[in-house]
Amino acid sequence: MRLLACGVALVLTAASTVGVAQQPAAAPEVRSRLVQGNVWLINAGFVNVAAQIGPDGVLVVDSGTEALAERILAEIKRLAGDKPIRFIVNTHAHPDHVGGNVIIAKAGRSVISGNFVGQAGAGAANVAKVWAHENTLRRMSEAEGSNAAPTPSAAWPTDTFFTKRTTFTSTASRYRCCISRTHMATATSSSTSASRM
């Protein structure tokens, strides 16, 4: 099957080099699959997003690409109903993991209480919090490569951690982010994964 797929890809590549008109790539279908319990995998082509729907809201792991963000958000809302998106956890800084941060975070709501309310400002609770390791923020805020631009600051994590693991809570759920080796040799820092404790 892989040989057939490689052959088809080779034929399509060869056809494009001889001037055959190409159809624009169709937008990938957004599908969701129940992983277990209240955890869903949302897939759109090469983009994978996880959503955990808890009693007080939704935790999203990675936000997909900017181009797919509205469709991924619609699927999250379909699965979660009226529960707000509380957190986004970015596993690393690639555009297919952080590109939807702005759109999905704007659709969410944070819980801010205590003395921090005055410091955060009136609108701070009107977006979901975005969590990531500090190295993910560093990579998002720096240009990588000669032609690359940094990720727009509106997409940057709102909260970071620098230890090998961290725990954060919402009113009814407690989450742990743990560091593991990343899949890219150029990204020597660790990525995060979230799991409900």
- Per residue in 19-67, pLDDT tens? 444 555 678 899 999 999 999 999 999 999 999 998 889 999 999 999 9
Task: Kindly report which listed range (38-42, 94-98, 117-121) carries the lowest average pLDDT score.
Answer: 117-121
Q: CB count, 10 Å around CB of 26?
A: 7
Cβ-proximal residues to 4 (8 Å cutoff; 6+ apart), any chain: none
Backbone angles phi and psi of 34, in degrees to 5: -75, 125
Q: Where are the domains of the chain?
A: 28-196
If one looks up domain 28-196 in CATH, what number appears? 3.60.15.10
Cβ atoms of 168 and 54 within 8 Å: the answer is: no
pLDDT at 78 > cutoff 70? yes
Cα 96–Cα 60–Cα 80 angle in degrees, nearest 5: 125
At 55, list the tokens: 């009693």
Cβ atoms of 98 and 62 within 8 Å: the answer is: yes
